[in-house]
């Protein structure tokens, strides 16, 4: 019997496929998410749009909130640790959190090194905006990926950019000859073996979800259309007028992402989604996606 194998960690992410993982800030929201059909919840002190508004240093949530959410639902509970913050991750693991997001949404604790995730029993998900970041995170032990997008903006454009880029880079790598692959590994800054795997299979070795800007059922379906394995929704749900209805609509649009009549149906009278931010209006310091590359 062996716990914490890579297959057990990445397999857990496989079970999330086609699903929606929702940010929640308390037990009540977690229960709404579970009842709406979320496949997991992310327990947070503040959703990304509030982190943006509050400014200052964003850290791991108060363990009380994480515990409260774990007690409230039977689906898996994820929580965020700062990039490179080994101790926040160890604390979350000790609490029995099911998945840790080493997340650029929080203020990085380390500007050079990510957590060595292979040394943990609990699996990690990390953000990536291109193939280089994706494979570096996998090398460090991430068992699941997500696009970074631009969290807390309600603007899908960056998540689209990141998923399109990764898909395009995968297609390019597939067509390289063996000698070109060595150079590509150097250019991307990734281990040759992982790149060879992408070349041979035409896909990433772990599940890749969309995240960072999903605000409507159609946004979720768009990311599935572009090849995401599932969707994280952060501020989108509990910053909307009717979270319960909104959550259900996003779950159904994700499952039936090519059934446009159904998406029209679930999108009716949802009320106002979160307001959203034009990415061009963000200054460099406000761009979360540039953290932890």
Contacts with other proteins, residue ranges (CB under 8 A): 1-5, 7-8, 11-12, 14-19, 34, 37-40, 74-76, 93, 96-99, 121-123, 251-252, 255-256
Q: Do the annotations mark residue 213 as ligand-binding?
A: yes
Residue 9 is a catalytic residue: no
Partners of 147 in the β-ladder: 128
| 235 appears as a binding residue in the annotation | yes
Q: How far is the CB of 194 from other proteins (least distance, A)?
A: 20
Q: Which is nearer to other proteins, 3 or 177 (CB)?
A: 3
Tokens, residue 253: 């649009």
**CB 54 → other proteins: shortest distance, Å?**
30
Residue 76 phi, psi dihedral angles, 5° rounding? -60, 150
Q: Token digits for 92?
A: 């979350």
Contact 195, 135 (CB under 8 A): yes
Q: Closest CB to other proteins among 40 and 190?
A: 40
* 202 in a labelled binding site: no
**Active-site choice (9, 17, 31, 80):** 80
Strand order in 207-209's β-sheet?
207-209, 144-147, 124-128, 99-103, 77-82, 40-43, 20-24, 231-233
Side-chain half-sphere exposure of 94, counting CA atoms within 13 A:
7
Nearer to other proteins, 40 or 105 (CB): 40
Q: Which residues of 110-149 are buried (b: 16+ CB within 10 A; e: fewer)?
A: eeeebbebeebebbbbbbbbbbbbbbbbbebbbbbbbbbb
Q: Phi and psi dihedrals of 68, rounded to 5? A: -60, -45
- To the question of whether residue 74 is assigned a binding role by annotation, the answer is no
Q: How far is the CB of 4 from other proteins (least distance, A)?
A: 7
Minimum CB–partner distance for residue 206 and other proteins (Å): 13
DSSP, res 113: P
Consult the annotation and say whether 234 binds a ligand.
yes
Q: Which is nearer to other proteins, 99 or 238 (CB)?
A: 99
Residue with tokens 């292979």: 118
Q: Would you name the residues annotated as active-site residues?
A: 80
Binding-site residues for D-glyceraldehyde 3-phosphate, in ranges, read 164
Binding-site residues, in ranges, read 23, 152, 164, 213, 234-235
Binding-site residues for D-ribose 5-phosphate, in ranges, read 23, 152, 213, 234-235
């Amino acid at each position: 019997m062996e716990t914490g194998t890579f297959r057990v960690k990445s397999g857990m992410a496989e079970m999330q496929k086609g699903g929606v993982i929702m940010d929640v800030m308390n037990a009540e929201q977690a229960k709404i998410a579970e009842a709406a059909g979320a496949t997991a919840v992310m327990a947070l002190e503040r959703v990304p749009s509030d982190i943006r508004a509050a400014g200052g240093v964003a850290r791991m949530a108060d363990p009380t909130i994480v515990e409260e959410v774990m007690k409230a639902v039977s689906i898996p509970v994820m929580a965020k640790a700062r990039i490179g913050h080994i101790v926040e991750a160890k604390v979350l693991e000790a609490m029995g959190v099911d998945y840790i997001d080493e997340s650029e949404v929080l203020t990085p604790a380390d500007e050079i090194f990510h957590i060595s995730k292979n040394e943990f029993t609990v699996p990690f998900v990390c953000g990536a905006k291109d193939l280089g970041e994706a494979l570096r995170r996998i090398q460090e032990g991430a068992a699941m990926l997500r696009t970074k997008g631009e969290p807390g903006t309600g603007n899908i454009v960056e998540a689209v950019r990141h998923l399109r880029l990764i898909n395009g880079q995968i297609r390019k790598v597939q067509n390289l000859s063996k000698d070109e692959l060595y150079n590509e590994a150097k250019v991307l800054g990734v281990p040759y073996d992982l790149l060879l795997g992408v070349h041979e299979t035409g896909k990433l070795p772990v599940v890749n979800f969309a995240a960072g800007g999903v605000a409507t059922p159609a946004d979720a379906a768009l990311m599935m259309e572009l090849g995401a394995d599932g969707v994280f929704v952060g501020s989108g749900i509990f910053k909307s007028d009717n979270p319960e209805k909104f959550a259900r609509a996003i779950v159904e649009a994700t499952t039936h992402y090519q059934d446009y009549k159904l998406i029209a149906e679930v999108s009716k009278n949802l009320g106002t989604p979160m307001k959203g931010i034009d990415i061009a209006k963000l200054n460099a310091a406000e761009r979360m996606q540039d953290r932890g590359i």
